[in-house]
Amino acid sequence: MLFFDFLHSLQNVEKTRNFNVFKDYSLNELSELFLFLKSKHKIHKPVRISVVGTNGKGSTSHYLASLLSLLGYKTGLYTSPHLLTPLERFQIFLEGKPEAPREEDVDSFFQHTILPDLERYQSLSYFEFLTVFAYLYFAKENTDFEIWEAGLGGRLDSTKLVYADFVILTKIGLDHSEILGDTKEKICLEKLGIITEVCRNLVVMDPEDDSLQTLIQNFSKGKTETHFLPLEKKLTYLETNFLFSQAALIHLVPNLTTKLKSISFGSVEKPRGRMEVLQTFPEVVFDPAHNPDAIATTTQEFAKTHPSFSLLLGSLPDKDREGILSQLIGLPLQSLILWEGNGFGAFPELPQVLKPITTKVRTDEELRPLFQGRFPVLVLGSFRIYGIVAKLIQNTTNM
């Protein structure tokens, strides 16, 4: 059996969106597996940093790993979801550049490390298994630092079991409300639940919300110290998150301050899939923004440099599509294309002002003309759209 054969046999909630499985979920069984792994395998002890939040955690995780690797530290990054292959979820950063493992190396590692005890892994979910596999893979790679981006929430997220030395909390917004809670305060508490007794510091991206700030300040877990970092807002959210990541590391590892301050935003490789230019003419830019707050941030940022553009938007069934649509009013949109293909949700009644410029599509071929026109295109809503658009652009270019 090979790595992908086993992985794709597991329950994948990211794909099914069946979040009912979390109603009676606990980390107890997975915790026992981690204890077994620690006793059987030689798990070295790097510095581990957990990143939780609603918006900004993916790019923040990337910049943390980039910065540390530029300083000479071999850094593992566990992140989700992926753009094209699950191998992107556990990458090693060296000299500021991420490198996904080769499939043949992963297969070899799977056969030597997982197969002998396969029965212990068969009840895991897709995300749980990837978390465990990354934990073992990073140990094999003898990383100096590890960055663990939480998947969903924090209190019941499998990444909690890596027992991070530090936790970084990014922006809190309303997303996955049916699981995490229907207010930002409830969601914040679920995110903070990732903190364990070994966590020494909690670094918080200034929530700019008095109720959240009070809640976080009053949240106590062992000897964890809490520190709020004001945001230095720039023209792009990526630069803002880079500066936050830089400031967070300066706070957590103060002996690296001088070296960290010498690294500029422009010298660091941007994360794939975040405001990534997929084509230059017409310009096609992708970002995975998928909730109202993130949609507002990315569209307003794009509008500052694009006086008129088309927007391709897809949304998974569990997202707040009505809230997302409300953020589009007033934008300089040439056209709005709503992607309702397989696995995506159908959009509700449109605001009146958007109806004249909107088209709903369900097939790849209906999208092709969009990438052959004159107007820039911003693509938002889900990581799943990335592969669709990238393939269409490549096929169009090769015609």
Helix (H, G, I), strand (E, B) or coil at 238: helix
- Shared-domain flag, residues 262 and 284: no
> pLDDT digits over 343-358, tens only?
999 999 999 999 999 9
Query: What CATH number is attached to the domain comprising 37?
Result: 3.40.1190.10
Is the separation of the CB atoms in 311 and 324 below 8 Å?
no
- Shared-domain flag, residues 244 and 283: no
- Shared-domain flag, residues 245 and 293: no
- Shared-domain flag, residues 163 and 88: yes
Residues 6+ apart with CB under 8 A from 214: none
In the block, tokens 């696995």 appear at 343
> pLDDT digits over 161-192, tens only?
999 999 999 999 888 777 788 899 999 999 99
- Shared-domain flag, residues 125 and 54: yes
- Shared-domain flag, residues 238 and 309: no
HSE, CB side, 13 Å, CA atoms: give it for residue 13: 18
- Shared-domain flag, residues 251 and 357: no
- Shared-domain flag, residues 321 and 239: no
Is the separation of the CB atoms in 340 and 274 below 8 Å?
no
So what's the pLDDT on residue 42? Answer: 80
- Shared-domain flag, residues 305 and 192: no
So what's the pLDDT on residue 399? Answer: 40
According to DSSP, residue 28 is labeled H
Domain boundary among 235, 267, 299: 267
In the block, tokens 């809503």 appear at 381
- Shared-domain flag, residues 284 and 263: no
From CA 397, how far away is CA 113, in angstroms rounded?
42
From CA 78, how far away is CA 58, in angstroms rounded?
10
In the block, tokens 């803002």 appear at 240
Q: Tell me which residue range forms the domain holding 280.
A: 276-398
So what's the pLDDT on residue 221? Answer: 63
Residues of the chain with pLDDT under 50: 397-399
- Shared-domain flag, residues 116 and 168: yes
So what's the pLDDT on residue 162? Answer: 97
From CA 136, how far away is CA 142, in angstroms rounded?
10
Query: What CATH number is attached to the domain comprising 302?
Result: 3.90.190.20
Number of domains, the chain: 2
Domain boundary among 267, 285, 313: 267
Domain boundary among 267, 300, 317: 267
- Shared-domain flag, residues 88 and 191: yes
